[in-house]
Structure 1
Amino acid sequence: MKRGEFIRLTTGMAAAAPLLHACEGKKAGAATAIPGKIVGASAAAGHLLRDRAFNAPGEFEPKDVVIIGAGVSGLSAARYLMQHGVSDMVVLDLEGQPGGNAASGGNAFSKYPWGAHYVPVPNNNLTEYLSFLEEAKVITGYDGAGLPVYDEFYLCHDPEERLYINGHWQEGLVPNFGLNAAQLAEFRQFFTLINHYKNLKGADGLEAFSIPVDMSSRDESLRALDRMTMKEWMDSRHLTGEYIRWYVDYCTRDDFGTPLDLVSAWAGIHYFASRKGKAANAAYNDVLTWEHGNGFLIDALRKDLDGRVVTGALATSVKVGPEGVKIGYLDVATRQVKGLEARHCIMAVPQFVAARLLGDTERGKTVTGHFHYTPWMVANLTVKDLHERAGQPASWDNVIYGSPSLGYVDATHQQVQQQKYRRNLTYYLPLTYAPPGIARKEAYHAEHAFWSEKVLSDLQRVHPDIREQTERIDIMLWGHAMVQPRPGMIHGDLRQALSESIGTGIHFAHTDLAGVSIFEEGFYQGLKAAKKILKQT
């Protein structure tokens, strides 16, 4: 999660273990005694779109704008349109709550994330994003130099992050405990290269690595990085040690759900080199977080939408008609197919879903052939006091070296009270052990006991009493959590082609059109689509 640590590093791979096949999960013993369940996302309802045909709606309710998808992109578009006088709209979403991959949950002890759980301090040129954060009271003002001041309650509290490595919890996620001089030198070399890219501009005068990605330079020397994998780039720089490989692989799986031998080198470098934000009370590598993660930002995006978000609504078709765009959707609760007719439709959904809704076979084949979506498992554990190994104390972000998981974040970490009788730990596992399609099928067939055992077996290495101290485990499965930025994704032509509006009425907005699934990309994808509509009004 945190990208920095240059100062600590300059002073001072284990392969991801494959998951057992889903059928083996039924053999899990101790975990079966811990209560919990598998919750969302609504894969069964969503697969209805793939597996069956729906009748056309009998009538269509008129709307100015219909937005399909209430994730970051859809809500960002809706918020922007509302602020610019477009109020006759509806946002449809299959799930029971809006948020997409930034959805959240909660229990008696705290809220907790079900997906994205933080945002880094933003780059200062993102004026619309900064304005949103000010509106959400995340930014409380600006100092005399014009730098934003962030609410201290939303900056991640200390201790922020730790890594369990060589039998010890070290501070920070960049490996250093137990490394020899040559291994530490590899990290210095790596971050020297990253600093070069962070400050580099292309021949076109644009920053080499920017956010959103489409603001980045298209200099050919930089585009070439998108034609190789991160592993190939590291090979060419002789960065081959176990620890540096593990760290970069951890980072690319964290942000992209993609191992370093599959991720584009451009995307891998972007992870480190694109963050340049300055603040009065925070550094570019600090993070903003909340009990329920980015669910806080989802609440801020939707706060003025006044019932315009309709959940439990599965879009079934999108067609251009003589009067506008006709949208069919299934009310999941009543099983009734309903219709809307709008001047504009924003499809804020993954491209494989957009292709099905449009009935566009060729678009579907193109997406299937080039877009790969990583499945994830996220678990929330409610725990009592846990035994701690030696070293850095319990932190917000807790990572285990060599684990196929990304470790866990403590949702209660941001609470101000000192005494906490229970904690909610959110555990993240990108299913990158196999091609996405295979991993996805196995994930959907695995039972709660399998996933619980998987989590407990991993965490038992650092908390030997985890089984006795865990009161409940709930599991969230994300079948298509994020698109993988493989070589050719960022600087190829496909993203731009799929982003083009259809006629004047159908527009697209989703992070898979950016190639990088981060909050800022979703936010600006929504703004981009909304601005297309406003140009026509």
Structure 2
Amino acid sequence: MSGQMFYKDEFSAYLKRRSFLLRIGLITGGIFLNSCYKKIRSAKYNIQGALQGPDANAGHLLRDKLKLPSAKNTRKVKTLIVGSGISGLSAGRWLKKNGETDFEILELEKHIGGNSYFGSNKIASYPLGAHYITIANNDDALLIDFLKEIDVITHFEGQLPYYNDYYLTFDPEERLLINGAWQEGLIPDFGVPIADKKEVRRFLAEVDQLKNTRGNDGKFLFNIPLNSSSTDENYRKLDKITFEAYLKEKGYRSKYLLWYLNYACKDDYGQKISHVSAWAGLHYFASRRGMAANAAQNAILTWPEGNGWIMKKLAEQLKAHIKTSNLCYELKPISNGNTLVTVWNTKTQLTENIEVEKIILCAPQFVNNRLLENFNRNIDYKAFNYSPWLIANITTNELPESKGVSLCWDNVAYNTSSVGYVNAAQQHLNLSEDKKVITYYLPLCDFEPAIARLAAYSRNYEQWLDIVIPELEVIHPGITKAIETIDFWVWGHGMITPAKDFIWSKNLEKAKLPIDNKIFFAHSDLSGVSIFEEAFHQGINAAKQVINATS
């Protein structure tokens, strides 16, 4: 799930030593959250757990525009941020860093974080969505500054950042179950015919060349954030065809390579190569070129709670500004040039109006479509498609193993529906833990997103078990009897799909524009790729626009 595309080299020896020394030198304690949901027990499997997701009732209140009680009061806030995902928190952080204090961050859910939200039990914290980032590209000064701020980068050796060893993924890192055994790395190799291996290496050589190629404007063809990529039309035109069509044109036929590329697109985009643009497909492999003093290029940074750890760091200085359980219901322009925002508190069941000078909408565009009925953005909202996902956090007292490489952080099985699972306790320093929590990721991409979403919402706990357990049994025969709990989380709109003619479309360009220099937008769907770095930069860009408009 890292997008890494290299075979292990001599650097592995250092990484193994680092992991071993950290683990034997220290013992860590766990921090647990109290469960606040009803447990469900499956009669068929004798497994208990929960089936959860974002607050559907509040979401439907906005979708169906059900009538709210009249507002009891109106108050004023200079800048209002709607949404406390990574983009909203990043916007708040930037405002505060630049001396702005009169702002609030409203969040519909009882918790913050968006798809970086996480959970915990007595065994481990675990992700409920995004679960890693890679080391930053060295030209990404804003991200590097933030990583220094939160001690992910501890210092520099020469020109290269030195990353905190506790946050670089402990070895063993990745494995693939293929042809009856676990191999190291996710690129199919064990038992793969020589002709297929040659084709795999041809593709890797191609994207490695693209990674270091600049367009006719001097910029890298593919970069993070996306808006720093080259505008060279010779390559941007790849956004107008599917990745599948591009691969056929290039003569890639190997079933092993095509499986790997489908896996990669499902991992970052929630869709297969037939549903993402060629530009997006190549971006996955050719956009990351970060170098570090103590890590391999493209090395992974992760935590037990996944990106929830970074999310908490973003939120640390913003606690006084965040208000959860607050549904932003409607925006209206008023005669003095400000905007009147109607807000419904899902906890107190009270309505209030907030008069704001500026507003940053850090919600996905299908939500903004409901909020902005009194404004004309002149964009096609139907062009924004979101892939649904199922996340399953599975607590086991044993993990039956097959031959080959032992349990890694990232564990994927060839030719299965999911993109595998991560070991939530990989970064724990205690190697003797018997019980484990593994986080299983299933992109629901076999049907069009709207159909897959409807099916996902209609399934009950038993039906999800019937989908997940058989695949787990293929991966780990006999695991069912070792499972103690499975907690499911359904993301109906998990991530934006970078379909063909989306990322560099005029429609997306228009969607990024503010309204009357009063309403600004920040969300990863405005980049076309749902990764941490894009949301982080989206928030900063919107906050800068607000500051410039104010000054």
Cα contact 2:329–2:344 (8 A) shared by 1: yes
1-structure distance, mates of 2:261, 2:239: 17
Amino acid at match of 1:135: E
2-structure distance, mates of 1:141, 1:189: 37
1:328 and 1:462, CA in 2 relative to 1: closer, same or farther beyond 3 A?
same
Measured after TM superposition, the shift of residue 382 of structure 1 is 0.8
Unaligned runs of 5+ in 1: 10-27
Measured after TM superposition, the shift of residue 266 of structure 1 is 0.2
1-structure distance, mates of 2:287, 2:217: 17
2-structure distance, mates of 1:52, 1:4: 44
Measured after TM superposition, the shift of residue 52 of structure 1 is 3.0
Cα contact 2:379–2:511 (8 A) shared by 1: no
1-structure distance, mates of 2:5, 2:203: 12
Query: Corresponding residue for 1:486?
Result: 499
Query: Corresponding residue for 1:68?
Result: 82
2-structure distance, mates of 1:415, 1:319: 49
1-structure distance, mates of 2:8, 2:348: 57
Instruction: Pick one of 366, 370, 377 that aligns with 1:356.
Output: 370
2-structure distance, mates of 1:361, 1:233: 39
Instruction: Pick one of 195, 199, 207 that aligns with 1:194.
Output: 207
- Greater mean alpha carbon deviation, residues 399-408 or residues 47-56: 47-56
User: Is residue 2:212 matched to residue 1:212?
Assistant: no
Measured after TM superposition, the shift of residue 473 of structure 1 is 0.7
2-structure distance, mates of 1:282, 1:8: 12
Amino acid at match of 1:4: Q
Helix, strand or coil at the partner of 1:177: coil
2-structure distance, mates of 1:54, 1:366: 26
Cα contact 2:224–2:533 (8 A) shared by 1: yes
Q: Which whole-Å deviations, capped at 9, do the CAs of 1:106-160 have from their partners, x for residues lacking one?
A: 01111100000000111011111111111111111111x1211111110000000
Query: Corresponding residue for 1:450?
Result: 463
Instruction: Pick one of 181, 200, 214 that aligns with 2:194.
Output: 181
Q: Which whole-Å deviations, capped at 9, do the CAs of 1:378-420 have from their partners, x for residues lacking one?
A: 0111111111011010011010111110110010111001211
1:112 and 1:7, CA in 2 relative to 1: closer, same or farther beyond 3 A?
closer
| Aligned pairs for 1:109-188 within 5 A | 109-143=123-157, 145-188=158-201
Instruction: Pick one of 353, 362, 370 that aligns with 1:339.
Output: 353
Give the fraction of aligned pairs with identical amino acids, expressed as a percent.
Answer: 40
Query: Corresponding residue for 1:23?
Result: none
2-structure distance, mates of 1:233, 1:92: 42
TM-score between both structures, scaled by the size of structure 1: 0.94
Cα contact 1:121–1:283 (8 A) shared by 2: no
Query: Corresponding residue for 2:32?
Result: none
1-structure distance, mates of 2:487, 2:58: 20
2-structure distance, mates of 1:386, 1:215: 44
Cα contact 1:248–1:260 (8 A) shared by 2: yes
Query: Corresponding residue for 1:12?
Result: none
User: Is residue 2:399 matched to residue 1:386?
Assistant: yes
Unaligned runs of 5+ in 2: 10-41
Helix, strand or coil at the partner of 2:475: coil
Measured after TM superposition, the shift of residue 57 of structure 1 is 2.6
| Aligned pairs for 1:281-292 within 5 A | 281-292=294-305
Count residues with an aligned counterpart.
517
Helix, strand or coil at the partner of 2:425: helix
Instruction: Pick one of 379, 397, 401 that aligns with 2:414.
Output: 401
Instruction: Pick one of 111, 120, 125 that aligns with 1:97.
Output: 111
Measured after TM superposition, the shift of residue 320 of structure 1 is 2.0
Measured after TM superposition, the shift of residue 8 of structure 1 is 5.0
Cα contact 2:88–2:522 (8 A) shared by 1: yes
Amino acid at match of 2:381: V
Query: Corresponding residue for 1:87?
Result: 101
Query: Corresponding residue for 1:473?
Result: 486
Measured after TM superposition, the shift of residue 272 of structure 1 is 0.3
Cα contact 1:256–1:483 (8 A) shared by 2: yes
1:365 and 1:135, CA in 2 relative to 1: closer, same or farther beyond 3 A?
closer
Q: With a CA cutoff of 8 Å and minimum separation of 6, indicate the structure with the bigger relative contact order.
A: 1
Helix, strand or coil at the partner of 1:319: strand
1-structure distance, mates of 2:348, 2:511: 34
Cα contact 2:85–2:113 (8 A) shared by 1: yes
Cα contact 2:82–2:360 (8 A) shared by 1: yes
Could you list the runs of 4 or more consecutive aligned residues of structure 1 that deviate by over 4 angstroms after TM superposition? 360-365
Q: Which whole-Å deviations, capped at 9, do the CAs of 1:487-532 have from their partners, x for residues lacking one?
A: 1111111111011100121000001100011101000000000001
Cα contact 1:30–1:453 (8 A) shared by 2: no
Measured after TM superposition, the shift of residue 374 of structure 1 is 0.4
Measured after TM superposition, the shift of residue 42 of structure 1 is 1.1
Cα contact 1:500–1:508 (8 A) shared by 2: yes
Superposed CA RMSD: 1.6
Helix, strand or coil at the partner of 1:194: helix
1:29 and 1:246, CA in 2 relative to 1: closer, same or farther beyond 3 A?
farther
TM-score between both structures, scaled by the size of structure 2: 0.91
- Greater mean alpha carbon deviation, residues 492-501 or residues 269-278: 492-501
Cα contact 1:54–1:316 (8 A) shared by 2: no
2-structure distance, mates of 1:6, 1:206: 24
Measured after TM superposition, the shift of residue 6 of structure 1 is 3.0
1-structure distance, mates of 2:66, 2:258: 47
Query: Corresponding residue for 1:304?
Result: 317
2-structure distance, mates of 1:233, 1:381: 38
2-structure distance, mates of 1:421, 1:517: 34
Measured after TM superposition, the shift of residue 453 of structure 1 is 2.4
- Greater mean alpha carbon deviation, residues 37-46 or residues 169-178: 37-46
Measured after TM superposition, the shift of residue 39 of structure 1 is 1.8
